[in-house]
Amino acid sequence: MSNSQTKYLQLLASHYPTPAQTITEIINLEAILNLPKGTEHFLSDLHGEYDAFEQVFRNGSGVIKRKLSVLFANELSETELTTLATLIYYPRPKMRIILRTFSATEKNDWYRITLLRLIKLTSFVSSKYTRSKVRKLMSPDFTYIIEELLYQNNDQIEKEAYYHEILTSVIELNSAADLIHALATLIRRLVVDHLHIVGDVFDRGPAPDKIINRLTKHQSLDFQWGNHDMIWMGAASGSAVCIANVLRISARYLNLDTVEDSYGISLRPLAIFADTTYENTSTAFMPKKSQESAKTTSEINQIARMHKAIAIIQFKLEGAIIQRHPEFNMTDRLLLNKINYTNGTITVNNHTYTLTDTDFPTIDPANPYTLTPEENDVIERLLLGFINSAKLQEHVAFLYAKGSMYLRYNGNLIYHGCIPLNEDGSFKALTIANKPYTGRALFDKFDQYARQAFSQPEGSKEKEAALDYVWYLWTGETSPLFGKTAMTTFERYFIAEAETHHEVKNPYYLKRNDEETVATILREFNLSPDDGHIINGHTPVKEGAGESPIKANGKLLVIDGGFSKAYQSVTSIAGYTLIYNAYGLQLVKHQPFTSTEDAIMNETDIISTRRIIETETIRQCVKDTDIGQHLQQQINDLKSLLTAYRQGLIK
């Protein structure tokens, strides 16, 4: 045995000080390896739609209802099943509604029957996990009672009497409602074991902050950053241009309240500046509102002015970055200098277009990219607001801790946008500091920059350089998060001709239909094309127009079905969840969601349909997963320790 091996085994021996303890742990780990693999749920492009996300999250993408149907097929009617399902999703409010009209005796009967049913379901959904894992997911207040109810092994008659005793005490002690809540929570946690969020929690919808609050409480999750997350990460890291983008989109979708109320960032400086600078409100800057809003016309007009003010600041700041980074190859995005300020026209691609709005009070035609002192002051103040928002900093720190540009997990490759490709299918390069980066190396380089932007000290050269790359990730041609040649934001606001609005997608989006391309990408990330899949978000799947989320013969799955309300007219549905359990891969399609209130009162669940993509011939076990490999390594080490004990090498 080498010196370092002995040292390692001695360290291990401090945790397992006797051969008997070592053997117990080996047996325990080997048992875990043979349990069925936990269920992974993949969700993407939540875009601030907290209520719809909550419903899918609470109903386990339809899995809870399916389990109930299997378990109580002969016992409960469809209506009773739906009520029980709604109770599991929203235990407290649903209980209040159910119990409202009950007498004391009826209440107690209902508690007893409901608890028995919930215990039966808990037992069913926990059977594939170890006791220790189930215990960790329980509310500590009820661990003892739930374990007693779950693991009673006496014969049937004694068991029922024992249950009866426990339940009577629980009801008499007025704890039944709390126990129902604890069991419902446990069931939901058991059903969604591991969660993958494939990016774009932020923008468009009203409550990304609530989604993140919820995610922080989930027991096991990872996150692949989306382009919209990246601008918020950049904004929280202190990038002025990312802040401008974030606020422009928030104004556009009437979500400035989220910034002010949830993150506590004052927008007063921007409001005052906008009011004193922009008189007219061009219709292009009117909020693109899908949600019902209680705002008055004058409030809406003010938001439109703020929208325009921050858009102009954004274009100026972007111009400065483009000019200092010729390697970004974005000079065609320099548009403020192509405006004829006298005629109110712009010339792009040899075409001259009339601008729909010619009011540019802050632009000096000789230096169109220079901020006025007032604009500079506004952005400085906003910057302070973003970097001092404790809640935003906490949320973004969570995205950094759990997130990455891509993830290899159980043989699959997960990322939000694309692998930038050339027309011929080869990997497209971006040159950074004279070195070309492609494929996985490009992702790794961006991952490094993204982290550097947040972690390096304020004002350091490293931070400043990294922040420009964070912005590039949002909008650059060779960004794996964006995947289009250019973002035509300016044109969408100022030019009527739709031809100028078109954004050309990277060839990846055509080539990903082809199995060979997908195999090449999987190999690039050191994954097997035979077993692995690519899980992709970012582009809404236009189900209504006949597009399928299943590409390359089932090797690539696009799961952006459009949780975003603003995009539901395009997708015709309300999102997909991909589920990967011991039996294989299943795609669940969700129909648009009405409201949480409707879901609780009228028990309207998001109707979801399931499509099996691949079925495993043999039920997959923990040993077939990444965690399984890790556990196998631990078993091997423990076996070496046991041998060392037996040979007297360790005492």
Sites of contact with Mn ion (CB under 5 A):
200, 226-227, 538
Among 128, 484, 512, 565, binds ligand FBP (CB under 6 A): 484
**54 contacts which partner out of Mn ion, ligand FBP, none, CB within 5 to 8 A by kind?**
none
**Member of 186, 487, 495, 552 binding ligand FBP (CB under 6 A):** 487
Nearest residue to ligand FBP by CB is 487
Q: Residue 40: which of ligand FBP, Mn ion, none does it interact with, CB under 5 to 8 A by kind?
A: none
Give the integer Cα–Cα distance in Å for 325 and 478: 14
- What are residue 346's DSSP bridge partners? 339, 353
Q: How far is the CB of 249 from ligand FBP (least distance, A)?
A: 7
Check binding of 503 to ligand FBP (CB under 6 A): yes
One DSSP character per residue, 435-462 reads: EEE-HHHHHHHHHHHHHHHHHSPTT-HH
Q: Give the whole-angstrom CA distance, residue 180 versus residue 87.
A: 9
Q: Kindly tell me which of 360 and 490 has the beta carbon lying closer to ligand FBP.
A: 490
CB of 405 to ligand FBP, least distance (A): 15
Q: Is position 227 an interface residue for ligand FBP (rule: CB under 6 A)?
A: yes
The verdict on 565 binding ligand FBP (CB under 6 A) reads no
Which contiguous run of DSSP H or E holds residue 301? Answer: helix 297-324
Which one, 503 or 515, has the nearer CB to ligand FBP? Answer: 503
| Interface mask toward ligand FBP for 381-410; x: CB under 6 A | ------------------------------
- For the bound state, the minimum distance from the C-beta of residue 46 to Mn ion, rounded and expressed in Å, comes to 11
CB-wise, 369 or 563, nearer to ligand FBP? Answer: 563
Q: Which is nearer to ligand FBP, 43 or 487 (CB)?
A: 487
| Of residues 492 and 610, the one with the C-beta less far from ligand FBP | 492
Q: Which residue has the tokens 């080498």?
A: 2
**484 is in the binding site of which of Mn ion, ligand FBP, none (Cβ under 5 to 8 A by kind)?**
ligand FBP
* Comparison of 227 and 262: residue with beta carbon closer to Mn ion: 227
Mind giving me the DSSP string for 223-285? EE--HHHHHHHHHHHT-HHHHHHHHHHHHHTT-HHIIIIIT----HHHHHHHHHH--S--GGG
Q: Please tell me the distance from the alpha carbon of residue 258 to that of residue 146, in angstroms, as a whole number.
A: 39
Shortest separation between residue 109's beta carbon and ligand FBP, angstroms: 51
Quick one: residue 424, left, alpha or beta (phi over 0 = left, psi -120 to 50 = alpha)?
Answer: alpha
3-state secondary structure 26-90: HHHHHHHHCCECCCEEEECCCCCCHHHHHHHHHCHHHHHHHHHHHHCCCCCCHHHHHHHHHHHHC
Residue number with CB closer to ligand FBP (128 or 538)? 538
Residue that is written with structure tokens 């990444």 in the block:
626
Task: Answer positive or negative: Cα dihedral of 541, 543, 546, 549.
Answer: positive
Residues 6 or more apart from 159 whose CB is under 8 A from it? 152, 153
**Residue among 45 and 603 whose Cβ is closer to ligand FBP:** 45
Residue 290 within binding range of ligand FBP, rule CB under 6 A? no
Non-local CB neighbours of 463 within 8 Å, separated by 6+ positions: 237, 238, 452, 453, 456, 457
Binding mask 336-355 for ligand FBP (x = CB under 6 A): --------------------
Place of tokens 């069913």: 124
Options 182-190, 338-346, 485-493, 632-640: segment touching ligand FBP (CB under 6 A): 485-493
- To Mn ion, the closest distance from the beta carbon of 560 in angstroms equals 7
**Nearest distance from C-beta of residue 37 to ligand FBP, angstroms:** 31
Residue 503's binding partner among ligand FBP, Mn ion, none (Cβ under 5 to 8 angstroms by kind) is: ligand FBP
Q: Which residues pair with 408 in a beta bridge?
A: 413
345-348: strand order across its sheet: 339-340, 345-348, 351-354
Nearest approach in angstroms of CB 228 to Mn ion is 6
- CA-to-CA distance for 647 and 470, rounded, in angstroms? 56
- Residue nearer to ligand FBP on the CB measure, 252 or 512: 252
> What is the per-residue binding string for ligand FBP in 194-213, x denoting contact by CB under 6 A?
------x-------------
Task: Look at residues 151, 167, 131, 178 and name the one whose alpha carbon lies nearest to residue 35.
Answer: 131
Interface residues toward ligand FBP, by CB under 6 A = 200, 227-228, 252, 484, 487, 489, 492, 503, 538
